Amino acid sequence: MATKKTVSASEPETAVKPKTTKTAAKPKATAAKPKTVKKTVKTTKTEEKKKILFVASEATPFIATGGLAEVIGSLSTALAKTGKFDVRVVIPLFSDIKKEYKDKFSYMGNIYVHLAWRNQYCGVFSYVKDGVTFYFIDNEFYFKRPGCYGYYDDGERFAFFSRSVLEIMPFLNFYPDVMHCHDWQAALAAIYLKTNYCFREEYQFIRALFTIHNIEYQGQYSMDLLCDLFDIHGSYRYLVEYNNCINLMKGAIECCERFSTVSPRYAQEIKDPYFAHGLDKIIRNNEFKLTGILNGIDDVGYSCEHDEHLFANFSAEDFSNKAICKKELQDMLNLPQKPDTPIIAMVTRLVSHKGLDLVTNIIEELLKDDIQFIVLGTGDSHFERYFCDLTKRYPDKFSANIVFNGDLSRKIYSGSDIFLMPSKSEPCGLSQMIACRYGTIPVVRETGGLYDSIKPLVNGYTFANYNAHDMLYVIREAVSAYKNKEEWTKLMKRAATTDFSWSHSAKEYENLYFDMLK
């Protein structure tokens, strides 16, 4: 658990020092000298900014296992850019955080965090990026392990993390106006605020917002752990108990001021048992505080004009270099270089709810057509093996890439023609938006954020039912449309210029925060 107190001097300007009471109590601050007045005005101005604290388990560019990290990284930046918020983010200091960043973090100090009978070291590091202050909670016993999740004691790890978030507030002298918690790993922060902290003066005005990025992962634990591990008093059992288990997502929904999901359609869907993984009743009971806000993407980072990972850059005005991206991609993946054969691509976790059952059902039928098919991603071993087998049997048509590779993903987004995303459910989905940015036309199932972001014939193709042949029919529609170069180019242009930036959605979060603070 011991942590080296490595204070980096490489970028001192990124260090954030906790305000000391000494500074705050300086009698000079009240003096009427012009200089001091100026200072006071300045302070008031920063204080006018509403204080937002994101609590999450991952954030780009530091560590990412999925879309959650991208949203934390890009939404926080977009909110800070409005100039209306002092945005800070807190995540665990996982050992897999990229070294290039870790070396630049500043050590701020440590406290001890009490959780039931445990009393644990909690180091705090910080780093400022694009106007957002990131805090990293250090405890090597909990976080010095490969990856982020999947350990027997994940419940304890994220309980410690969530408790630390509340405990570091006095240390940082930062009490947010809105504590915005994301997914079950941060659910306990909202729960602890309600059960243990909101009675204290400094914490009484903190409002909790809880965002569900995926309702499938709820954080469910045995009821026995309520006091001993989660340190929740028996009188609050009713808040977290669901179906004879502790359900942390349920607890956060009950305890938060408001909750949200990552698309308006998903906000509707999760009231239905088909989508809710057992929580539909809780969602319906708390519907009055639910909002759906569609995610945006980092449209500067994902840009066909500037992305350095591409074989060649192009623009929505001139797609001609996209042909180079395609040719080089085919070459790289050992597919024949056929400029007029459409490439259909999937960049996805290889799990059933991403619609892979539909794909495996019709793929051999589809491979009879003049197409090439590329898959990139890792996941369930039976899908991995199945796609590798297809590559062996159809080497000229199918390419399975069983890796998680950001560079290759961008080469695939830019070099393909059609992007397939037939998810059974999809809270938001970012890949369909990213594909659009590179002029690659999405074919999606009408669910969650796919429904909200892709409109048939405007910027993609859609199908409604979770049915393999409905999907095949629409893929073939897209493939035949691809042959009409003039119309296809117009479609590519509409896709590439669809506004998926945060500008609209950040505004919606802004309104939600202000509404909560009324």
Structure tokens at 461: 């193709």
Only segment of 12-20, 122-130, 141-149, 424-432 that touches ligand GLC (CB under 6 A)? 424-432
| 427 is an interface residue for ligand GLC by CB under 6 A | yes
Only segment of 23-31, 154-162, 422-430, 467-475 that touches ligand GLC (CB under 6 A)? 422-430
| 247 is an interface residue for ligand GLC by CB under 6 A | no
Among 102, 129, 180, 213, binds ligand GLC (CB under 6 A): 213
| 71 is an interface residue for ligand GLC by CB under 6 A | yes
> In the complex with ligand GLC, which residue's Cβ is closer, 213 or 411?
213
Residue 180, SS3 per DSSP: strand
In the complex, minimum distance from the CB of residue 436 to ligand GLC, in angstroms, rounded to a whole number? 14
Say if CB 247 and CB 241 are below 8 A apart.
yes
Nearest alpha-carbon partner for 345 in 480, 474, 440: 440
Among 428, 472, 492, 496, binds ligand GLC (CB under 6 A): 428
| 61 is an interface residue for ligand GLC by CB under 6 A | no
**What gap in Å lies between CA 164 and CA 141, rounded to an integer?**
14
In the complex, minimum distance from the CB of residue 182 to ligand GLC, in angstroms, rounded to a whole number? 8
> In the complex with ligand GLC, which residue's Cβ is closer, 139 or 459?
459
| 66 is an interface residue for ligand GLC by CB under 6 A | yes
Integer angstrom CA distances of residue 183 from 56, 288, 509:
7, 19, 16
Number of H helices, E strands in the chain: 22, 18
> In the complex with ligand GLC, which residue's Cβ is closer, 162 or 295?
295
Strand blocks (E) in 166-279: 178-182, 207-212, 220-222, 241-242, 245-247, 258-261
Site string for ligand GLC, 367-406 (x = CB under 6 A): ----------------------------------------
In the complex, minimum distance from the CB of residue 346 to ligand GLC, in angstroms, rounded to a whole number? 15
> In the complex with ligand GLC, which residue's Cβ is closer, 425 or 459?
425
**What gap in Å lies between CA 182 and CA 468, rounded to an integer?**
33
Only segment of 66-74, 83-91, 321-329, 503-511 that touches ligand GLC (CB under 6 A)? 66-74
Among 89, 262, 366, 374, binds ligand GLC (CB under 6 A): 262
Looking at residue 11, its amino acid is: E
| 56 is an interface residue for ligand GLC by CB under 6 A | no
In the complex, minimum distance from the CB of residue 224 to ligand GLC, in angstroms, rounded to a whole number? 30
Residues 6+ positions from 322 with CB-CB distance below 8 Å: 304, 312, 314, 414, 415, 438, 439
Q: Report the site for ligand GLC in 439-468 (rule: CB under 6 A).
A: 449
**What gap in Å lies between CA 442 and CA 462, rounded to an integer?**
8
In the complex, minimum distance from the CB of residue 106 to ligand GLC, in angstroms, rounded to a whole number? 29
> In the complex with ligand GLC, which residue's Cβ is closer, 164 or 423?
423
Only segment of 42-50, 298-306, 426-434, 496-504 that touches ligand GLC (CB under 6 A)? 426-434
In the complex, minimum distance from the CB of residue 134 to ligand GLC, in angstroms, rounded to a whole number? 18
Among 52, 68, 179, 400, binds ligand GLC (CB under 6 A): 68
**What gap in Å lies between CA 194 and CA 466, rounded to an integer?**
40
**What gap in Å lies between CA 242 and CA 240, rounded to an integer?**
6
| 429 is an interface residue for ligand GLC by CB under 6 A | yes
| 430 is an interface residue for ligand GLC by CB under 6 A | yes
Ramachandran sector of residue 234 (left: φ over 0; alpha: ψ -120 to 50; beta: rest): alpha
Among 156, 257, 417, 426, binds ligand GLC (CB under 6 A): 426
| 269 is an interface residue for ligand GLC by CB under 6 A | no
Alpha helices (H) in 288-405, listed in sequence order: 322-332, 356-366, 381-393
Q: 């060649």: which residue's tokens?
A: 312
Number of residues that this document lists for the chain: 518
Alpha helices (H) in 291-424, listed in sequence order: 322-332, 356-366, 381-393, 406-415
Looking at residue 60, its amino acid is: T
Total number of residues that touch ligand GLC (CB under 6 A):
14
Q: 């059609």: which residue's tokens?
A: 418
**What gap in Å lies between CA 47 and CA 463, rounded to an integer?**
49
Q: 């008031």: which residue's tokens?
A: 44
Residues 6+ positions from 359 with CB-CB distance below 8 Å: 346, 420, 422, 468, 471
> In the complex with ligand GLC, which residue's Cβ is closer, 354 or 494?
354
Q: Report the site for ligand GLC in 23-52 (rule: CB under 6 A).
A: none
Only segment of 67-75, 195-203, 244-252, 340-348 that touches ligand GLC (CB under 6 A)? 67-75
Among 76, 247, 295, 401, binds ligand GLC (CB under 6 A): 295
Say if CB 425 and CB 269 are below 8 A apart.
yes
Alpha helices (H) in 91-247, listed in sequence order: 99-102, 140-143, 154-172, 187-192, 225-228, 237-240
Q: What angle do CA 447, 453, 457 make, to 5 degrees?
A: 95
In the complex, minimum distance from the CB of residue 299 to ligand GLC, in angstroms, rounded to a whole number? 15
In the complex, minimum distance from the CB of residue 262 to ligand GLC, in angstroms, rounded to a whole number? 4
| 87 is an interface residue for ligand GLC by CB under 6 A | no
**What gap in Å lies between CA 181 and CA 255, rounded to an integer?**
12
| 279 is an interface residue for ligand GLC by CB under 6 A | no
**What gap in Å lies between CA 157 and CA 219, rounded to an integer?**
12
> In the complex with ligand GLC, which residue's Cβ is closer, 163 or 410?
410
What residues make contact with ligand GLC under the rule CB under 6 A? 66-68, 71, 213-214, 262, 295, 426-430, 449
